[in-house]
Structure 1
Amino acid sequence: MIEKKCPNCQTNNISNARYCSGCGYELPKIEQEIPNDSKVNVLPSASKSEKTKKRMALIFGIIGAAFGSFVAQHYFFDNSSFDKKMMQVASEINKTCPIMVDQFTRLDNTLSLPNNTFQYNYTIVGVAKSEVNIDTVKKYIEPTLLNNVKTSPDMKIFRDNKMTLVYNYRDKNGEHVWKFSVTPEMYR
């Protein structure tokens, strides 16, 4: 496995790390060549089968449920304030980041934000913004994410605390692709 050395503190980091695990410094990018003849189609297009579209939607739903379960089981049963708990949750999740959640999606980090908001920041690896079909994302992924927040027992802690969950996606170049917010009004 290739490692990246932090120019700030000299800590060795995994090759796909965006930030140094030792000091948090942003690491230099290592460019990987992708052959021009191999097109990567990350999100299902109109020509893909319904099965593929549903599979991608399910993957995003599972990701949200897994992190919701992690939050509920590990951080909501002590006496510290809710904001501190959410910051601890983000910090603990970030210790494992970046992490590939599926073949095309990498969780880069999470943020506990003001106004009872928790944000997941993802990168769609190997794909430029121009290759992403936003209409397909909105049609298949948004309803799945919303349904997961509404119905998953793992997401109950978010519902009970009227949290807003934000799913933020960037392309391989760090350019913003899509952001979806699930507000309490949407799941009540």
Structure 2
Amino acid sequence: MRKIIFILSIVFLSLSFIQCNSNEKALTKKLEEMAVNLNMSAPVMLDQYTRFEEASVIQGNIFRYRYTVLNTSNPDSLVENGLQSLKENIEKEFSSNPDLRIFKENNVTIEYVYNDENGRTIRSLQITSERFR
């Protein structure tokens, strides 16, 4: 009897692991498709100072948006001054836009990376799924 319970336990754990692994792969694939679709229009100027460069998925199902700050002598200050407004807009969009439900439902972290014209990272901002519930 113990042997049967032990074998059933191993089978159950193995199936659980396989199921979790396949769900993770499906999510990664969906996120990668989203990034590819976004990248079809990149690079694109969003405003006078900000160019969207690309979206990508990095390890741990982090969805990364990469931007370049242009046309300013002080990109650090420009990003820092707009940071609070940026956070509020991001959180509002992710909490109200049903198209972004995949991020909330799957605990995906969103990362925004701002670089200057020379490729130096000015600021990296991560928004976890708890913040857009």
Q: TM-score, normalised by structure 2?
A: 0.70
Q: Which amino acid aligns with 2:127?
A: V
Structure 1 runs, 4 residues or longer, greater than 3 Å off: 128-131
CA 154–175 in structure 1, closer or farther in 2 if over 3 Å, else same? same
Which runs of 5 or more structure 2 residues have no equivalent in the other structure?
Answer: 1-24
CA positional deviation for 1:131: 5.5
Cα contact 2:53–2:68 (8 A) shared by 1:
yes
Quote the residue 1:140 is aligned against: 85
CA distance in 2, matches of 1:106, 1:133: 14
Q: Aligned equivalents of 1:133 and 1:125: distance in 2?
A: 10
Contact residue 127 and residue 172 of structure 1 kept, 8 A: no
Letter in 2 for 1:165: I
**2:75 touches 2:116 (CA, 8 Å); kept in 1?**
no
Structure 1 residue aligned with 2:51, among 106, 111, 118? 106
Change (3 A) 1:83 1:139: closer
Amino acid at match of 1:92: N
Contact residue 171 and residue 177 of structure 1 kept, 8 A: yes
Structure number with greater Rg is 2
Structure-to-structure mapping, 1:148-163, within 5 angstroms: 148-163=93-108
- Contact kept in structure 2, 1:101 and 1:107, CA below 8 Å: yes
* Post-superposition offset of 1:134: 4.7
Kindly tell me: are residues 131 and 181 of structure 1, through their superposed partners in 2, closer, same or farther at Cα, counting changes over 3 Å?
closer
Over the matched positions of the two proteins, sequence identity in percent amounts to 27
Which runs of 5 or more residues in structure 1 are unaligned? 1-79
What's the TM-score, normalizing by structure 1? Answer: 0.51
Give 1 or 2: higher helix fraction.
Answer: 2
Residue 164 in structure 1 maps to residue 109 in structure 2: yes
Q: Kindly tell me the number of residue pairs found equivalent between the two proteins.
A: 109
3-state DSSP of counterpart to 2:42: coil
Mapped to 2, the partners of 1:131 and 1:113 lie a distance apart of: 25
